[in-house]
Amino acid sequence: MKTIKVSVVTPDGPVYESDVEMVSTKAQSGELGILPGHISMVAPLQIGVVRLKKNGQTDLVAVSGGLLEVRPDQVTILAQAAELASEIDIDRALRAKERAEQRLNVQQAEHIDFKRAELALQRAINRLAVTEKRI
């Protein structure tokens, strides 16, 4: 089976490096499936899950947005933050979700940045989804 090299990199360093058979994720323009030999492209990513298929198993990485670069033999994902399912602290994600929901539930408050709270909520939900593998 043909493979393609994948690196998921954050400002703190590499999170995932492996040769995989397929990468799938959500770009801002929609779902993307990348197989070895895919044409070169660059696409902004949503907060979402990157699925990495190899040897009949699928590794899941939660990414908090970023940039996907595809070359025929290499996929690079540059993300603000990214975690493997096994690295996610569920209690921390639950606390972040609760904080964000509380902020969003306040009807009107000049001191609350709703966009920021909405993104924090999406990151938390994404992390929880990855740990529950219901994606």
Give residues in contact with ligand ATP (CB under 6 A): 12, 64, 81, 83, 87-89, 92-93, 96, 120, 123, 127
Question: Minimal distance in Å, beta carbon 58 to ligand ATP?
Answer: 20
**Cβ closest to ligand ATP, residue 2 vs residue 116:** 116
Give the residue among 6, 14, 30 at the shortest CA–CA distance from 82. Answer: 14
Question: Minimal distance in Å, beta carbon 129 to ligand ATP?
Answer: 12
Give the residue among 97, 92, 105 at the shortest CA–CA distance from 122. Answer: 97
**CA gap 91, 34 in Å, rounded:** 33
**Cβ closest to ligand ATP, residue 43 vs residue 129:** 129
Q: Which amino acid is at 98?
A: E
Question: Minimal distance in Å, beta carbon 22 to ligand ATP?
Answer: 24
**Cβ closest to ligand ATP, residue 73 vs residue 118:** 118
Question: Minimal distance in Å, beta carbon 62 to ligand ATP?
Answer: 8
**Cβ closest to ligand ATP, residue 87 vs residue 113:** 87
Cβ atoms of 28 and 39 within 8 Å: the answer is: no
